[in-house]
Structure 1
Amino acid sequence: MLALFGSVEQGIIYAIMALGVYLTFRVLDFPDLTVDGSFVTGAATAAMMIVLGYNPLIATLAAVIAGFIAGCITGLLHTKGKINPLLSGILMMIALYSINLRIMGMTREGGAGVSNVPLLNTDTIFTMFQNFWGSLGIDDTISNMLREMGVESVPTTYGTVLVVLIITIIIKFIADWFLKTEVGLAIRATGDNKRMIRSFSANTDRLIILGLGLSNALVALAGALIAQYSKFSDIQMGVGMIVIGLASVIIGEAIFGTKTIVRTTFAVVAGAVIYRMIYAFALRVDFLDTGDMKLITAFIVILALVVPQIIDKQKEKKRKAKRMAERNAAHIPAPVEQGGNPLA
């Protein structure tokens, strides 16, 4: 129960990062690898400012701004520097590694190159709101309700869940609204057909820069929240983050579909939660341990990519067989190709 609850908590936070990945990979059609660096940038900025005594809300806002700047620089490298999109993200990711070490080094006098910042005895967004929920008696009320339902192991971090759930829902609805605005539609059109949107005198360079900035701002926000949730910031915490984001997007789309923007963003959020739950269950297998995290992630992504294709092929075979059966029942000869083979 407690392990499942923790995976849901983390999944809701990672959903914010997955929404950022969705903006670049699906909306802009831009393979942005800046994510691995900007995630740590958000975590490092928030952790550094909290340790230095700043309000956690201000520290989190600063992390979002830092992520936005990182994404914009990637956009500038691509649009103004004419660098390949993939290479632009890789260059920025490499640069951010050193920048993140510098940021975390600011927590100590003359401490450049610090790779880990603990937040054990500091206030975070979660402790602030947990105290608030506790003062209202919300934690006790929910705990009593679950105990009455027969749940013995009751988590004590309802404040954390409420905070991340509220933040994620707000961001999801803001994303839905933004992608339907004139600027949002222009960004979507840029990802679909850049030449077409240029014919309408739209500045696609600015739209790409803005889209990358917003994407990495969301990624940095997720990094800041994860740092405060885990009570530390580490230089290695962003490794493979882009794969986790893609896994969340792919899993969500495969299960819930992508017919509308509202449905797609919900799919991305749900996909992130499902991914963390699958990962939590996988770690409970006897022959797997925490060192197999990347292997588990790769396996989940492979399944999410391959299984929908197999299902689609099976559906297509059934549709062809049904059409052939209908033709035979109506005694209608099947159309013939030039080679003489009947068409299904």
Structure 2
Amino acid sequence: MSGLLASLLGAISQGLIWSLMVLGVYITFKLLNIADMTTDGSFALGGCICATLMIAGVDPTVAAIAGAAAGGIAGAVTGILHTFFGIPAILAGILTQISLWSINLRIMSDKSNQSVNKIASDITFWVDRLHLTQSQATLVVGLFVVILAISVLYWFFGTELGSALRATGNNEDMIRALGVNTSFAKLLGLIIANVLVGLSGALICQSTKYADVGMGTGAIVIGLASIVIGEVLFGRVRNFALKLNASVIGCIIYFMIRAIVLRLGMKANDMKLLSALIVAMALCIPVLHAKWKASKEYKEIEEDDPVSDGTPMKGEVD
């Protein structure tokens, strides 16, 4: 039982840090209505930048901020390709993601991974000061950063600029007719989203004590799965702050499910398949439900219509 509790604590702490990435995916996927494929690359970029700077002796907090800024730059590249050059958003994200693989290798001196196991980080600071375990320290740091991120996002999206950004995803033509520069709104949204993704990658690097050029592979799927879980649990919520919290809770639940199924004997390599199935089911079930509902309504109309079954209407001659 103690082993299970330790696994769940680790899952919650990891879920909190990964939820920063989920918030970034929420901004692009739900608010901007853009499938941003930059996520996988910018997540790894944040981790690689953080690891390289920490090895060079840079303060870990500064290294994490630099990782977040690098993620924002990656988002800006995708945004420019999409808005200025007219490249479809999904293709622009793929182009940026592919290029980041080579860039991340260059950042880490052509090494596929780097260890920061013996270097002090923002997480080991709490381990040393308060004599916490690695999972407990990660939980403290993750909780603080997530609360700060949600507070800033809630404030920003309540401003005129933030409201314009949200409206761009809801009805781009209408908001453009009102004089809003939708290209700038998309660009800003992609930058903010990938800042969060890069920060998540940097903190994961500090938590796991290593960075890898492939550490972001499948991040977009984890993000979507977490959002779907959050929507299933809090689908009726209208408050924007609660929607952000729902994504975070969805991410934590995802990692708790992951910890449980791994303890039940499922291979770690199969987790991405499980994530993909969760997202696919969540996207397919509403469509199937809508088709079933439409078919049911059509049959009811057909049964109520006297013409459809050949019954003569009143006054009609056979």
SS of residue paired to 1:247? helix
2:193 is matched with which residue? 215
> Partners of 1:81 and 1:338 in 2: how far apart?
58
Which of residues 66, 73, 87 is equivalent to 1:69?
73
> Partners of 1:252 and 1:124 in 2: how far apart?
31
1:294 is matched with which residue? 272
1:60 is matched with which residue? 64
1:42 is matched with which residue? 46
> Partners of 1:338 and 1:32 in 2: how far apart?
51
1:195 is matched with which residue? 173
Unaligned residue ranges in structure 2 (runs of 5+): 310-318
Which of residues 198, 201, 223 is equivalent to 1:245?
223
Query: How high is the TM-score relative to the length of structure 2?
Result: 0.88
2:55 paired with 1:51: yes
> Partners of 2:128 and 2:290 in 1: how far apart?
50
Which of residues 249, 270, 273 is equivalent to 2:252?
273
> Partners of 1:233 and 1:48 in 2: how far apart?
9
Q: Is the 8 A contact 1:282 1:296 kept in 2?
A: no
2:110 paired with 1:131: no
2:92 is matched with which residue? 88
Kindly report which structure 2 residues correspond to 1:67-216, keeping only aligned pairs within 5 A, or say none: 67-105=71-109, 113-134=110-131, 139=132, 157-216=135-194
What amino acid is aligned across from residue 243 of structure 1 in structure 2? V
Q: Is the 8 A contact 1:46 1:224 kept in 2?
A: yes
Deviation at 1:127, TM superposition (A): 0.8
2:206 paired with 1:228: yes
2:312 is matched with which residue? none
Q: What's the RMSD between the two structures over aligned residues?
A: 2.4
Deviation at 1:307, TM superposition (A): 5.5
Deviation at 1:276, TM superposition (A): 0.5
Deviation at 1:309, TM superposition (A): 6.5
Deviations 1:137-170 (A, max 9, x none): xx5xxxxxxxxxxxxxxx6642221111111111
Deviation at 1:43, TM superposition (A): 0.2
Deviation at 1:197, TM superposition (A): 1.1
SS of residue paired to 1:214? helix
Deviation at 1:308, TM superposition (A): 6.2
> Partners of 1:337 and 1:206 in 2: how far apart?
53
> Partners of 1:279 and 1:161 in 2: how far apart?
17
Deviation at 1:281, TM superposition (A): 1.3
Deviations 1:244-280 (A, max 9, x none): 0000011101111242211210110000000111111
1:26 is matched with which residue? 30
Q: Is the 8 A contact 1:279 1:297 kept in 2?
A: no
Greater mean deviation of Cα atoms: 298-307 or 80-89: 298-307
Q: Is the 8 A contact 2:9 2:135 kept in 1?
A: no
Unaligned residue ranges in structure 1 (runs of 5+): 106-112, 140-154, 325-333
Q: Is the 8 A contact 1:252 1:271 kept in 2?
A: yes
SS of residue paired to 1:233? strand
Deviation at 1:28, TM superposition (A): 0.3
Q: Is the 8 A contact 2:15 2:252 kept in 1?
A: yes
Distance 1:196 1:126, change over 3 A: same
What amino acid is aligned across from residue 17 of structure 1 in structure 2? M
> Partners of 2:196 and 2:169 in 1: how far apart?
19
Count of residues in correspondence between the two structures = 301
Deviation at 1:98, TM superposition (A): 0.6
> Partners of 2:286 and 2:256 in 1: how far apart?
20
Distance 1:283 1:304, change over 3 A: farther
2:5 paired with 1:8: no
Query: How high is the TM-score relative to the length of structure 1?
Result: 0.81
Deviation at 1:74, TM superposition (A): 0.3
Q: Is the 8 A contact 1:130 1:157 kept in 2?
A: no
Deviation at 1:19, TM superposition (A): 0.2
Kindly report which structure 2 residues correspond to 1:282-321, keeping only aligned pairs within 5 A, or say none: 282-286=261-265, 288-306=266-284
What amino acid is aligned across from residue 86 of structure 1 in structure 2? I
Deviations 1:31-50 (A, max 9, x none): 10000100000000000000
Deviation at 1:202, TM superposition (A): 1.1
SS of residue paired to 2:191? helix
Q: Is the 8 A contact 1:67 1:218 kept in 2?
A: yes
Distance 1:65 1:338, change over 3 A: farther
> Partners of 1:34 and 1:338 in 2: how far apart?
56
Q: Is the 8 A contact 1:37 1:96 kept in 2?
A: yes
Deviation at 1:61, TM superposition (A): 0.7
Deviation at 1:194, TM superposition (A): 1.1
